């Protein structure tokens, strides 16, 4: 045997609840951006890819899609140190003067979103808002505005619906909790 053992995922938020919430978020976003013709959804790779796919297909407001990828040094628990967020893949087209909606999988300490909000705000978008699937309020280290939120969850490691643990479990339909060995 090589590598860590697979912890068994336990369902936390069902696919049906996720789908219902994504419908609600899309409806809110449609209202907010009614009449806007230059909305850009920026998905944060990799974890947001399923959420972004579902959300964007439920929107009726016209929009384009961009992707951005960030990483952090070291630690499997993502952002070990506040300054450690790195841009590893930038968006392809400029967002100057466009309405930008950042689509993130999870807000944990908040450092990743804070970094991305600073980065994108500096590029002169007409507006910049953030949509996150889940947030862990107990883990917050920096205050970040989240304009559209799927669910607040406790301080647990979640997988599924795009979220991973060591690159595993991204394709589980439910959001599940895993308890990795320390
Ligand atoms: P933050 O910078 O601490 O807010 O970390 C955000 C990033 O950490 C997310 O984009 C995820 O990549 C990762 N992350 C934090 N918590 C979890 C989790 O419970 N499951 C999967 N990834 C997580």
The CATH number given to whatever domain includes residue 36 is 3.40.50.2020
Q: Which candidate, 136, 114, 132, 135, places its Cα nearest to that of 55?
A: 132
- Which of the two residues, 73 and 112, has the higher pLDDT score? 112
Report CA(58)–ligand 1 centroid distance (Å): 25
Q: Round to whole Å and give the CA distance between 69 and 46.
A: 7
Q: Round to whole Å and give the CA distance between 29 and 36.
A: 11
Mean pLDDT of the region 83-87:
84
Q: Whose CA is nearest to atom 16 of ligand 1?
A: 108
Per-residue pLDDT tens for 22-31? Answer: 999 999 999 9
- For ligand 1, say whether the CB of 68 is within 6 Å of any of its atoms: no
Per-residue pLDDT tens for 131-157? Answer: 999 999 999 999 999 999 999 999 999
Overall pTM surpassing 0.75 (yes/no)? yes
Report CA(163)–ligand 1 centroid distance (Å): 8
Query: Does the pLDDT at position 5 exceed 80?
Result: no
Per-residue pLDDT tens for 33-77? Answer: 999 999 999 999 999 999 999 999 999 999 999 999 998 654 445
Report CA(78)–ligand 1 centroid distance (Å): 6
Annotated active-site residue 30? The verdict is no
Q: What value does the mean pLDDT of the chain take?
A: 92
Q: How many domains does the chain have?
A: 1
Q: Round to whole Å and give the CA distance between 88 and 100.
A: 20
The answer to whether 154 and 135 are in contact (CB under 8 A) is no
Q: What is the pLDDT, as a whole number, of residue 180?
A: 75
Structural domain containing residue 47: 4-180
Q: What is the pLDDT, as a whole number, of residue 81?
A: 62
């Amino acid at each position: 045997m090589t590598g860590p053992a697979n912890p068994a995922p336990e369902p936390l938020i069902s696919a049906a609840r996720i789908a219902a919430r994504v419908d609600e978020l899309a409806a809110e976003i449609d209202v907010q951006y009614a009449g806007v013709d230059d909305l850009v959804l920026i998905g944060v790779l990799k974890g947001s890819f399923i959420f972004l796919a579902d959300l964007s297909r439920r929107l009726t407001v016209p929009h384009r899609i961009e992707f951005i990828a960030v990483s952090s040094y070291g630690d499997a628990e993502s952002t070990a140190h506040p300054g450690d967020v790195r841009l590893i893949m930038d968006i392809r087209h400029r967002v100057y003067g466009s309405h930008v909606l950042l689509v993130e999988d999870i807000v944990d300490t908040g450092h990743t979103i804070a970094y991305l909000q600073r980065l994108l705000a500096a590029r002169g978008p007409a507006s910049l808002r953030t949509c996150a699937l889940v947030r862990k309020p107990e883990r917050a280290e920096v205050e970040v505005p989240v304009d559209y939120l799927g669910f607040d969850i406790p301080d647990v490691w979640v997988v599924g619906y795009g979220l991973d643990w060591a690159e595993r479990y991204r394709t589980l339909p439910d959001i599940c909790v895993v308890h990795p060995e320390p």
